[in-house]
């Protein structure tokens, strides 16, 4: 067992607590459902999504650029509803993190790259506020991982030294950045392996 005293738990959303919000597989599904050219959709997405994710444009502007730059036989609301409906909870991880929080009196915060409207929908729909005290979302703070400023902001809000923080993310690069800042960080692959790694840090 580690002698590190973990006082704060930082969590990614997509791939940890919930499925990814708007990833390649979901965009492929949207292209098939709405009869869109996937190559055009992907090119336009990659050219503009970072701007949406960091909070510089709205979801409506993003959709104008990737879908509604020409007349479509479906409504904007139909497309938005499809986007939002694709999110599913990883309920086992949500329950596990709630149990960790309760058992060890942890401060819990979310650090995630996500656009504002998707963030707000996912936070509210899956009641993530019952788990996390604060949300450091890229669209809210105008930084995005792997920018170290987004992690530093979370540390400032939590007021817990990096060595006493644990960060869970499914992306290896983001785990590495957190580790370089002095955090304990684990790449989440599944509940069983994450539970084992967390227990090794003294959080049974």
Q: How many CB atoms lie within 10 A of CB 173?
A: 11
Domains identified in the chain, total number: 2
pLDDT tens by residue, the chain, 204 residues:
567 799 999 999 999 999 998 999 999 999 999 999 999 999 999 999 999 999 999 999 999 999 999 999 999 999 999 999 999 999 999 999 999 999 999 999 999 999 999 999 999 999 999 999 999 999 999 999 999 999 999 999 999 999 999 999 999 999 999 999 999 999 999 999 999 999 999 999
The answer to whether residue 93 is domain-embedded is: yes
Q: Do 107 and 119 fall within a single domain?
A: yes
Domain-ending residue, one of 85, 100, 129: 85
Could you tell me the pTM of the whole model? 0.94
The answer to whether residue 111 is domain-embedded is: yes
CATH number at residue 129: 3.40.50.1000
Q: Do 136 and 186 fall within a single domain?
A: yes
Query: How far apart, in Å, do the first and last CA atoms of the chain sit?
Result: 10
Q: Do 45 and 16 fall within a single domain?
A: no
Task: Name the nearest CA neighbour of 10 among 76, 131, 109.
Answer: 109
pLDDT at position 110: 98
Q: Could you tell me if 183 and 165 are in contact, meaning their C-beta atoms sit under 8 angstroms apart?
A: yes
The answer to whether residue 151 is domain-embedded is: yes
Q: Do 70 and 44 fall within a single domain?
A: yes
Q: Could you tell me if 79 and 59 are in contact, meaning their C-beta atoms sit under 8 angstroms apart?
A: no
pLDDT at position 4: 78
Sign of the torsion formed by the C-alpha atoms of 88, 92, 96 and 102: positive
Q: Do 62 and 39 fall within a single domain?
A: yes
Q: Do 97 and 141 fall within a single domain?
A: yes
For 60-68, which contacts have Cβ atoms below 8 Å and span 24 or more sequence positions? Answer: 62/115, 66/41, 67/34, 67/36, 67/41
Q: Do 191 and 139 fall within a single domain?
A: yes
The answer to whether residue 3 is domain-embedded is: no
Q: What letter does residue 57 receive in the DSSP assignment? A: S
Residue-wise burial string across 176-195, b where 16 or more C-beta atoms lie within 10 A, e elsewhere = ebbeebebbbbbbeeeeebb
Q: Do 118 and 179 fall within a single domain?
A: yes
Q: Do 95 and 61 fall within a single domain?
A: no
Task: Name the nearest CA neighbour of 144 among 166, 121, 182, 173.
Answer: 173
Q: Do 96 and 137 fall within a single domain?
A: yes
79 is in which domain, residue-wise? Answer: 24-85
């Amino acid at each position: 067992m580690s002698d590190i005293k973990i006082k704060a738990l930082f969590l990614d959303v997509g791939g940890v607590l919930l499925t990814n919000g708007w990833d390649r597989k979901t965009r492929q599904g949207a292209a098939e459902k709405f009869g869109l050219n996937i190559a055009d959709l992907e090119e336009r997405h990659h050219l503009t999504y970072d701007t949406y994710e960091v909070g510089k444009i709205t979801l409506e502007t993003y959709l104008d650029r990737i879908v509604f730059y020409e007349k479509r036989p479906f409504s904007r609301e139909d497309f938005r509803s499809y986007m939002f409906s694709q999110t599913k909870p990883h309920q086992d991880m949500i329950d596990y993190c709630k149990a960790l929080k309760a058992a060890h009196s942890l401060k819990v915060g979310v650090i995630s790259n996500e656009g504002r409207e998707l963030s707000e929908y996912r936070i509210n729909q899956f009641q993530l506020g019952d788990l996390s005290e604060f949300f450091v979302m890229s669209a809210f703070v105008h930084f995005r991982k792997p920018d170290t400023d987004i992690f530093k902001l979370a540390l400032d809000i939590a007021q817990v030294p990096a060595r006493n923080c644990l960060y869970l993310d499914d992306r290896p690069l983001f785990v590495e950045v957190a580790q370089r800042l002095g955090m304990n960080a684990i790449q989440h692959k599944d509940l069983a392996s994450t539970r084992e790694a967390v227990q090794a840090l003294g959080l049974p």
